[in-house]
Every structure is written in structure tokens, then in C-alpha cells.
Amino acid sequence: MFLAKVYITLKPTVNDPQGLTIRGALHNLGFTTVQEVRAGKFLEIKIAGEDQEKARVDVENMCKKLLANTVIENFRFDLESIKQG
């Protein structure tokens, strides 16, 4: 079994209104040194099986087909082996 930790972020050229809102709220709370915030998504996906390369290919395809909008988002992931239980 594997655990994929998937990180999805907006591409640098894409406007991030959520990040701007968070930055404004942080400034209002006194965290005035914050210069930029980029918001994104984090997912954890458990994958059954013993073949790490197949799991890696599956996660890559999941990201490309559903989890990330590759026109405006980048993605990366870490894949680790975990014990079932």
C-alpha cells in the first residue's frame, strides 16, 4: 500500500484572489511582514497494491485527468510505502 501526498498550486502567472484575501487578513492581524500568499490544495490518497511504479503512474494520471487543472495549476506529489492496518 502507498500514500500519495499531492500538492496542487496555481501557476505563478495566474491571479490568486484567495491568496490576496489571506494576505490582507494576515496584515489586519498584525503580520505585516507577509509579502505574498499563494493558496493551493493538499490531498492524501491511499493506494492499494505492491507496485510502486504503477502507483506513481496512477497518481500522475489522477492529477492530469481530475485533481489539477493543468492549464492554470501545477502539481507535484510524494509517494511513500505504508503498512496496511
Q: What are the tens digits of pLDDT across the range 38-72?
A: 999 999 999 999 999 999 999 999 999 999 999 99
Instruction: Tell me the whole-structure pTM to 2 decimals.
Output: 0.87
Distance CA 13, CA 73 (A): 10
Distance CA 69, CA 40 (A): 12
Q: Confidence band (pLDDT; 50, 70, 90) for 36? A: very high
How many alpha carbons lie under 13 Å from residue 39 in its C-beta half-sphere? Answer: 9
Topology of the domain covering 2-81 = Mth169; Chain: A , (3.30.1280)
Residue ranges per domain, the chain?
A: 2-81
* Cell of residue 80, nine digits: 511513500
Q: Output the pLDDT for position 80.
A: 97
Distance CA 76, CA 5 (A): 8
